Amino acid sequence: MPITRRQLIPSSLEAEALIRTDLAAAIGETIDKAVFYGTGDEAPRGLSRLDGINVVRPATPGKPTYDELVEMESVIAAANADTPEMAYVLSSRAWGWLKTAQKFKGTNGVPIWEPGDTVNGYRAETTNQIEPNDIFFGNFSDLIIGLWGGLEITVDTATNSASGGIRVIAFQDCDFLVRRPESFCLAC
């Protein structure tokens, strides 16, 4: 994360707090992205690359019908992996679609996305860490994120030295364990 010379001049606690907040957000976003799409090389293997996860392919990727969302729930239930605490996680683009798509054709316009941020009674969360056409559904209690070691912070004074700035680099070691891959489904 680059920090300019001007940002370094004021020695206020507010400036430091802002930098800490930005750094924490960047680390969180990186871990979030890896949870879903990690390759298993530099980042841990994410849900989308996990063997045994259920997959449903909507007729129109990113614009599932209510029936296709219920199919996601059904494949998990068929594997005896369903719980009332399951949740949907989807992109803001899919969220927009679900807010306008009707549950049933020819009805009074009741959308798939329900009041209280639910879909078919399950909690639903949006994040821009999810690819636009993907929707994840599952028991996220079966996803364990392990963090070990302390947060390492390195200050690079060389890269931006010509302008008097610095670059802050953070390292956080983590890994994921999915107790039951069949308790997740990806619509893509």
pLDDT in tens, 68-125: 999 999 999 999 888 889 999 999 999 999 998 888 877 677 898 899 999 999 999 9
DSSP H helical ranges for 38-168: 66-78, 92-100
Express as a percent the part of the chain with pLDDT over 90.
41
Rg (CA), the chain: 20
More confident call, 183 vs 161: 183
More confident call, 101 vs 3: 101
User: What are the pLDDT digits (tens) for 136-155?
Assistant: 999 999 999 888 877 788 88
Structure tokens that stand for 148 in this block: 């070990």
| pLDDT of amino acid 132 | 92
Residue 160 lies in a domain: no
| pLDDT of amino acid 42 | 75
Residue 88 lies in a domain: yes
* CA 152/CA 170 separation, integer angstroms: 6
Summarize the chain as % helix, strand, coil (round to 5): 35, 30, 35
Residue 159 lies in a domain: no
Residue 112 lies in a domain: yes
Asked if the model's pLDDT at residue 6 lies above 80, the reply is: no
Strand residue runs (E) in the chain: 2-3, 54-56, 87-90, 113-114, 118-119, 122-126, 135-138, 143-156, 166-178, 184-187
Asked if the model's pLDDT at residue 16 lies above 80, the reply is: no
Residue 79: give its domain's CATH number. 3.30.2320.10
| pLDDT of amino acid 4 | 66
- How many separate domains does the chain show? 1
Residue 101 lies in a domain: yes
What is the residue range of 64's domain?
Answer: 8-143+170-187
Average pLDDT score over residue span 26-35: 87
Residue 152 lies in a domain: no
CB 64 within 8 A of CB 170: no
Residue 58 lies in a domain: yes
Residue 132 lies in a domain: yes
CB 149 within 8 A of CB 50: no
- pLDDT band (50, 70, 90) for residue 12: low
Average pLDDT score over residue span 21-31: 85
Q: Please state, rounded to an integer, the average pLDDT across all residues of the chain.
A: 86
Average pLDDT score over residue span 9-13: 64
pTM of the predicted model, to two decimals? 0.82
What residues have CB less than 8 Å from 156, skipping those under 6 apart? Answer: 166, 167, 168, 169
